[in-house]
Amino acid sequence: MPSFPLMIDLRNKQVIIVGGGPIAERKIQPLLTSGALLTVVSPEVTPAIEALAREEKLTWREKNASPGDVEKAFFLIAAADKEINEKISRAAPENCLINNVSDGEKGNTAFPAIVRRGRLTIAVSTGGASPKAARRIKQELEETYDEPYGQYMDFLHEVRLLLKRSDLADADRHRWLDEVTSPVYLAPEKQRAVLDRLEKLLS
């Protein structure tokens, strides 16, 4: 189905995962840093999910799923068998986000392959054509946008905040913003030099 990529704020939102197997575990991993209120409903779960429940990173309802389990869901992930997924998807509230792993047409969202580097998030989707290709592209992006990009994003954010506080003309602000997107500023010493210059301008 045609899809549109969208970033969603899940902080303090009810995310219900029905199913506790390896697929559910994979779906949970990228949600752990989202600030969502995660609840897994399944009589059995993988050791990794059980460990997350012990660490209070999610709630595990050790039972078979029923329609009542999803009545307050903001986002439902149906990751059990096909029959349960269909039944639970039908019970979801109106306007609920649904990811049905056994039949994408019964849901309205899809999970992309995700690369995270601090504030930087890159999502890859092949529209269901080839999850393996999406994973390969993700690996290539991870090599291109390696760990230093996380700190680099923090640097760009700090530059932007400093420029907002400055009395510089718009054209000068844009010149600064263009300059710091150069790859040379991946180097921490270059970043420090820019921040020192900007702080002097503001003092």
Give me the CATH number covering residue 177: 1.10.8.610
How confident is the prediction for the chain on average, in pLDDT? Answer: 95
Tokens linked to 140: 């290539």
Of the two residues 131 and 68, the one the predictor is more confident about is 68
- Count H helices and E strands in the chain, helices first: 7, 7
Domain extent, residue 161, equals 148-202
My answer on whether 61 and 160 are in the same domain is no
Tokens linked to 121: 């998030």
My answer on whether 81 and 119 are in the same domain is no
C-alpha distances in Å from residue 180, one per residue of 66, 144, 157: 53, 18, 11
My answer on whether 179 and 162 are in the same domain is yes
Distance CA 96, CA 90 (A): 11
Tokens linked to 151: 């700190």
Of the two residues 76 and 168, the one the predictor is more confident about is 76
Give me the CATH number covering residue 123: 3.30.160
My answer on whether 6 and 91 are in the same domain is yes
Domains: count for the chain:
3
**Cβ proximity of 118 and 186 under 8 Å:** no
Mean pLDDT within 145-155: 96
Per-residue confidence band for 105, with pLDDT thresholds at 50, 70 and 90: confident
Total-model pTM: 0.85
Asked if residue 1 has pLDDT above 70, the reply is: no
